Structure formats: C-alpha cells, structure tokens
Structure 1
Amino acid sequence: MPRRTYDHYCAAGRALDVVGDRWSLLVIRELCSGQRRYSDLFADLPGISTDVLAARLKDLERDGIVTRHRVGPRATTAVYELTPAGAALRPVLDALSVWGTPLLGDRRPTDAVRAHWFALPIGRAIADHLPKGTATVHIGDTVFHVVIDDTGITHHDGPATDPDVELHLDLTAATAVANGTLPLAAATPDTEWVSAS
C-alpha cells in the first residue's frame, strides 16, 4: 500500500506523515517504557483491531520508529521496541499529556484504563518533589520506575534497583494525581522526599 501523505512542505506535516495515523502515537506510548510483545501491545490498547495494530507496527518499523527482534531460548518470540528516533518522540507524548490533562474530566463508564498510562503525569509530579533521582511507583499490581536526570524524565518497566523514593498508590489516587485533582504529596503522605545526590 502506498504511503499516505499530506504533501505539505512543513516539518509538522512530515512528522504527521509518519506518526499521524490513528493509534500510532498510542503504540509509541506503550513502547516508551520498554520492549513489548505483540500480545502485550494488543492487551494494553483496548479497542484496536489486530489488523490495525499489525499495520501500525509495520509502518512504524518501516519508518525507523520501531524495531522488531526475536528473543527467548529459541528466538521464537518477537518483541518491539523504540529506536532512538522513536524514543525522541517521548517529549511529544509528554507535551500532549500536559495539554490533554484538562480534557480528562471524570472517567466515563466506557473509558478503558491501565495503571501504566499514568506514568507521564506521575513522572512530572515526582519531578516537582525530586529534581534528580529515581522513584519506583506501585499502582496496584503495576510497577514502573521513573528516572529524572539532566536529559529529562523517563519511565521504565519494573522497579528501580536502588530508588530514592518508593510510592504506593491505588488506581483512584493515581487517577486523581494524573488529572490534577490531587497533589502527589497528598496522595502519598507517608513518603519522605529525599533529594538525590
């Protein structure tokens, strides 16, 4: 299938030629914290069809945003991860997250939610208290860690090896922190914020 294009000689237009299709940025969001199997992506993108997911992954791989490789004892499991060009889109997703936070409002009965979707806003909230360092975040059974350093804020699957702080939130509190109705300090009153050295 030929590549769809806006045919605009404009940097934003060219960028949207690559990541502007529906679901593309959400696939990238899922890969921001680490590699994923196809089945992981499908499970964490409720509403996407298998055909659309396969097409988006193929397009993103063709455009150098995503790479696919095989892992496991017999190299039988395919995993997807961001290339450096794909990882460079994280600030774009973060900016969209900031812009979209006021649009969240109350959660609708039809809204899907995954705890790791709160990594971007919670990472920003952590950075307000921990200008540099690492925090492990538990939201129910979901665990990820946030790294704040001179390059910015990133999040990764699983706990940090030696975090400066460890946070435990339930989904309700994480939602409130993410949508800006509850400050992180109020959601984690027992947390001692220590400046990272």
Structure 2
Amino acid sequence: MTSREYGQFCGLARALEIVGERWTVLIVRNLLAGPQRFTDLRKGLPAIPTNILSARLKQLEQEGVATRRALAHPERAVVYELTDHGRDLEPALVALGRWGARTMGGPRPGELVTAEGVAMSFRTAFRPEAASGVSVGYEVRLAEFTLHAQVDDGRLTVGRGPHPAPDLVIERLAGQPVRDLMSGARTVDDVLRDGSVRVEGDRALFERFAELFRF
C-alpha cells in the first residue's frame, strides 16, 4: 500500500486517493474554467510550489482526470484540460464549495480573491430551479478581473473575461457586494444605496441575479 492509499474498499476513499492531496482539488477547480497553460495555473494558484504543481498535474494525467494538448500555430503552447472523467467531478466540487461557503465571512488576512475562486462561487451559489426558462447574460467587473456568466434554462456557463453581449453589467466599487448578495447578508437595495456596486442595464435583471445566485 502506497502513502496515498487508505486501504479501504470504498469509493470515497478511492476518490480521495486521486484528488485528496493538497492543491489537487483547486487545480481541478481552475481547469473547470477551460484549458490552461502551466503558467496560467501558476498565476491562479500563486502559493503552490512549481514542483508540487508539476507532480499534481502528472498524477491527474495518470488517473485520467486531466490531459495535455498542444495548441496549433501560432500559439505553440501546451495546455492542460479536464477529461470527461475529470469533468464528472464538478457536481462534487460544487456541493463541497457550497458547504464550505457557509462558514465564510470576508477574506482572511493574506487570502487572495482570484478569478477562478469567484467563478467557483458562482457555480456553488447557482440555483438551477430558479433559472428554469430563464436566459440572461451577466458581466461582473471586479477590481482585478472580469467574469462572464450565461444562464440558459437552468444551466450556467461561467468563465473569465467579458461577456460578448451582456444583458446586465455589474461593477463592484467597494467591499464584497456580490458575495453579500449571494449569502443574503445584503439586498439589492442595500448595495445600490450604499454605492458599493454599479449596474448597467435593467435593475430587474439585478434582482433576478440575486434570486439565481444564493448560498
């Protein structure tokens, strides 16, 4: 039995042998956003040592969770991406993220707010039952990055970068207004009144946002 093995004939034990080591789940989280170069993963996880990132990626490849692909000219870069087997982890990560979000307030000293972390918050807070028959695109501008979120009849697509044709733009001006909305700590009226957020578009779509994304 290797150091990673639990010696238990159990699906959960097997899953932890594959993704239970430190940083592995966050690497999978970042790859949920799409293919990434090694440097992209380092940027999204700045505290991970380079040798640990290399080791975790190698393990994910060996387990069939992720794969490498060479981009065509002119990029000539190698990207890592999840396999179908790897993408099957998304519901488990969403459930785990939702569970963890209930214990969170604001960022602790030294904690970074990353695009991948906020994108995961969108996935964990999304309420598909409230999105039946809904089609709406959001662009969320934070200080360091911009995210896009597209909702189509109960399904969510979220990623880094602007939305090509947003129905509503949400711009954070101060504090953590988006997270406060998701947690129910503040209302749409609250964040608009105190100036912590600015919106471009129909206010009703902002209210819909607060209904669609709630921990």
Given the alignment of the two structures, is residue 119 of structure 1 paired with residue 123 of structure 2, yes or no?
no
Does the aligned pair in 1 maintain the 2:128–2:154 contact within 8 Å? no
Partners of 1:88 and 1:170 lie apart in 2 by: 36
Pairs within 5 Å for 1:21-170 = 21-71=21-71, 73=73, 76-123=76-123, 124=125, 131=132, 132-133=134-135, 134-149=137-152, 152-170=155-173
Does the aligned pair in 2 maintain the 1:57–1:66 contact within 8 Å? yes
User: Kindly tell me: are residues 178 and 31 of structure 1, through their superposed partners in 2, closer, same or farther at Cα, counting changes over 3 Å?
Assistant: farther
Does the aligned pair in 2 maintain the 1:4–1:17 contact within 8 Å? yes
Equivalent residue number for residue 193 of structure 1: 205
Structure 1 residue 149, shift from structure 2 partner: 3.7
Partners of 1:59 and 1:185 lie apart in 2 by: 48
User: Kindly tell me: are residues 183 and 67 of structure 1, through their superposed partners in 2, closer, same or farther at Cα, counting changes over 3 Å?
Assistant: farther
Residue of 166, 176, 180 corresponding to 2:180: 176
Ranges in structure 1 where 5+ consecutive residues have no aligned partner: none
Partners of 1:26 and 1:185 lie apart in 2 by: 34
Does the aligned pair in 2 maintain the 1:116–1:144 contact within 8 Å? no
User: Kindly tell me: are residues 91 and 171 of structure 1, through their superposed partners in 2, closer, same or farther at Cα, counting changes over 3 Å?
Assistant: farther
Partners of 1:137 and 1:46 lie apart in 2 by: 23
User: Kindly tell me: are residues 5 and 175 of structure 1, through their superposed partners in 2, closer, same or farther at Cα, counting changes over 3 Å?
Assistant: same
Partners of 2:25 and 2:61 lie apart in 1 by: 13
Structure 1 residue 53, shift from structure 2 partner: 0.3
Partners of 1:112 and 1:160 lie apart in 2 by: 24
Aligned residues: 194
Partners of 1:72 and 1:181 lie apart in 2 by: 47
Of all paired residues, the percent bearing the same amino acid is 31
Ranges in structure 2 where 5+ consecutive residues have no aligned partner: 192-196, 209-215
**1:168-189 deviation line (CA, Å, top 9, x unaligned):** 2246224434555334674457
Does the aligned pair in 2 maintain the 1:38–1:79 contact within 8 Å? yes
RMSD: 3.0
Structure 1 residue 115, shift from structure 2 partner: 3.9
User: Kindly tell me: are residues 73 and 87 of structure 1, through their superposed partners in 2, closer, same or farther at Cα, counting changes over 3 Å?
Assistant: same
Moved more, 173-182 or 55-64: 173-182
What is the identity, as a one-letter code, of the residue corresponding to 2:109?
P
Whichever of the two has the greater Rg, that structure is: 2
Moved more, 3-12 or 16-25: 3-12
Partner secondary structure for residue 166 of structure 1: strand
What is the identity, as a one-letter code, of the residue corresponding to 2:15?
A
Structure 1 residue 103, shift from structure 2 partner: 1.8
